[in-house]
Structure 1
Amino acid sequence: MSQHKELPITVAGAGSVGCYVGGLLAAAGRNVTLLTRPQLAKAVREHGLRVSDLDGRDITVAPNALSVETEPDRALGRARIVLVTVKSHDTAEMAALIAAHAAKDALVVSLQNGVRNAEVLRHTLGHDRVVDAMVPFNVVQTRSSGGAPRFHRASGGTILVEKGDGGLRALLDVPGAPVAEHDDIEAVLWGKLLVNLNNGLNALSGLPIVEQFGDRRWRGLVARQLDEGIAVLRAAGIRHAPYEGVPARVFALALRLPDALFRLAAKSIFAIDESARSSMWGDLEAGRRTEIDHLQGEIIRLAETHGVPAPLNRAVLARVKEAERAKNGSPRLPPEDLNGAR
């Protein structure tokens, strides 16, 4: 692949992660188009967008530094690279739009949660056009009247893409959103899914992740979910890679430490901004459908197939579904409400 920085890149379904990555690509001189919702498109056209991170980076990308579109034909028709950042349940619809409007040789990269998005994209677009990838970090979106919407990376990590010719990695690798190749992206995605099981718990708690992890009762629930997930993947014969260098079992052990010891261990395991909450919390607050079926749902489907119990994952899925239907935001449950799931 050409590494030329003028190669047109469209971020398809640009929300928090898409605008953060797209904003940094534009700031680094890449030719970027955001395909996004009308309200966000209007704000970016008028004020640009602001990208910041927990390392102190804070950049405002001017409106004329990137293109913003709300119509798929206009956004996708010009693309040579399409970065898919929609929720997992919207992947099939986005694949159909890409097939209808993008060039037949446009390369498509999945920057999404879950483990099956590339498979869905390939079903419509073909195997050779799709590259799977994993985004490790959390992005918090805030908007203020009359100002540029802000997209703040609230945790660390390197975007991993499946191993290829290196041109894609070089094109996407920019300050603030580093990219590296990995030769077993499927194992990487399963490792990320195990960590992402906390998204549901965090959404139900309504707490910032730092505050949630400061409570040993919540950490115990996170560890139990990890234990269930690890047992299910072992029964299914599925490899899962360490997440940011930390094996899932080590993470589960660290979560069970007393508070003082956990705080010491956490400094070497992960860094996270005090403002960070899971994207699933944001979905509940906005009354949107969540990705719970693509996280806990994956573990539960495998558990049923292989006869492995996963009661806590089942309980979390059921409570998130209840909250989705209620459309009252996070239910802000105490941990005791889920402790009985055995």
Structure 2
Amino acid sequence: MRIAVIGAGAVGCYVGGLLALAGHDVTLLGRAVHVDAIQAHGLSLDMPDGTRRIDVKAITRAADLSPADVVLVCVKSADTEEAGRELAPALQEGTVILSLQNGVDNAEKLSAVTGRLVIPAVVYVAVDMTGPGHVGYHGGGRLLIGTTPQSEEIASVFTQAGVPTIVSGHVMDALWTKLTINCAYNALSAVAQISYASMLTVEGVTGVMAQVVQECQDVAAACQVWLPETLLAQVLDIAKLMPDQKSSTAQDLKRGKPTEIDFLNGYVVRKGAEFGIATPVNQALQVMVKLAEKSRSVAKP
């Protein structure tokens, strides 16, 4: 299978790397710092059984993309529309596009830009880029994808490559659940630069997280998405499952990169405003991260 990965960061390199290792024709489109390293030494992927070095094509220009059977979009939410326009060279009549992104509306945005059906996906993996062309793995690794005529075939290919993939008619519910988890953890972990388990030892944190979850549940219900009543317990369990993990927002702040906070807590704030639902805790967390971004920008020489 010919597979193009648009936005080859940690998730894109992880999934694309395992697909390449399984013998598929994979092209990673990413930033020069990673592409140069991959071209020179291969992609390094840390796994529980050791580091794997994977030979895979890597490019920096979308114009160099070849026609693909499947395109995986893994860019930050702010870059979704631009990515949709860039992937045009990879599209042919039967090309399938998957959105492997945070947030709940990226598939819709990609579909609007490309004029194609886009399969939404929920990614359950903890990975980061530990260096140029080097992916660190911290747990998980499965995908949940929406239902389309091509979904079962794609799920089979991915599962055989070591990326367990399930097709679900409830993928939007799962995306909202993941959004809620991100809203509860990401900003707090980022501003304090603290891991999940340590975060929960601070007095008052679980109370704040409970308010975040309730606001998300209220907004989701207005969007005709019904999140489980036990969601708060699920959210708090994440700290037990990934005690040493810091959020992607924390990683972005540390590296001086723009965060996705406007598409996490900020999304809940915007949708809440549309329905007249107050979301003060989500808004406060969004503003905290925006202030942290501002302080780092001002501090740069």
TM-score (norm: length of structure 1): 0.79
**For residue 159 of structure 1, what is the aligned residue in structure 2?**
143
Evaluate the alpha carbon distance shift between residue 149 and residue 27 of structure 1 in structure 2; reply closer, same or farther with a 3 A threshold. same
Letter in 1 for 2:242: I
Deviations 1:44-73 (A, max 9, x none): 1122222234xx2434223xx210111112
**For residue 128 of structure 2, what is the aligned residue in structure 1?**
140
Structure 1, gaps ≥5 residues long: 1-6, 256-265, 330-342
Q: Is the strand fraction higher in 1 or 2? A: 2
Would you say the 8 A contact 2:197–2:240 is kept in 1? no
2:56 paired residue among 51, 66, 80:
66
Would you say the 8 A contact 1:285–1:328 is kept in 2? no
Letter in 2 for 1:58: G
2:7 paired residue among 13, 26, 33:
13
State yes or no: 1:248 paired with 2:261: no
Distance 1:58 1:103 in 2: 37
5 Å-filtered alignment, 1:1-342, equals: 7-53=1-47, 56-62=48-54, 65-75=55-65, 77-99=66-88, 102-128=91-117, 130-143=118-131, 149-156=133-140, 158-165=142-149, 166-174=152-160, 176-197=162-183, 198-240=185-227, 247-251=230-234, 255=236, 266=237, 271-272=241-242, 274=244, 276-327=245-296
Would you say the 8 A contact 1:33–1:66 is kept in 2? yes
Letter in 2 for 1:271: L
Would you say the 8 A contact 1:27–1:61 is kept in 2? no
Evaluate the alpha carbon distance shift between residue 150 and residue 214 of structure 1 in structure 2; reply closer, same or farther with a 3 A threshold. farther
Offset at 1:183?
Answer: 0.8
Distance 2:100 2:106 in 1: 9
TM-score (norm: length of structure 2): 0.89
Distance 2:29 2:291 in 1: 31
Instruction: Name whichever of 17-26 and 172-181 sits farther off.
Output: 172-181
Would you say the 8 A contact 1:155–1:273 is kept in 2? no
Offset at 1:114?
Answer: 0.3
Distance 2:90 2:24 in 1: 21
Would you say the 8 A contact 1:154–1:273 is kept in 2? no
Offset at 1:316?
Answer: 0.6
Please state whether the residue corresponding to 2:34 is helix, strand or coil.
helix
Identity %: 32
Offset at 1:171?
Answer: 1.7
Structure 2, gaps ≥5 residues long: none
Query: What is the aligned residue count?
Result: 296
Aligned-pair Cα RMSD in Å: 2.4
Would you say the 8 A contact 1:190–1:239 is kept in 2? no
Deviations 1:178-236 (A, max 9, x none): 11111121111111111111212211110122322343533332222112211222344
Deviations 1:31-90 (A, max 9, x none): 11110111111111122222234xx2434223xx21011111212x23221100000010
Evaluate the alpha carbon distance shift between residue 215 and residue 49 of structure 1 in structure 2; reply closer, same or farther with a 3 A threshold. farther
Distance 1:210 1:23 in 2: 30
Would you say the 8 A contact 2:198–2:243 is kept in 1? no
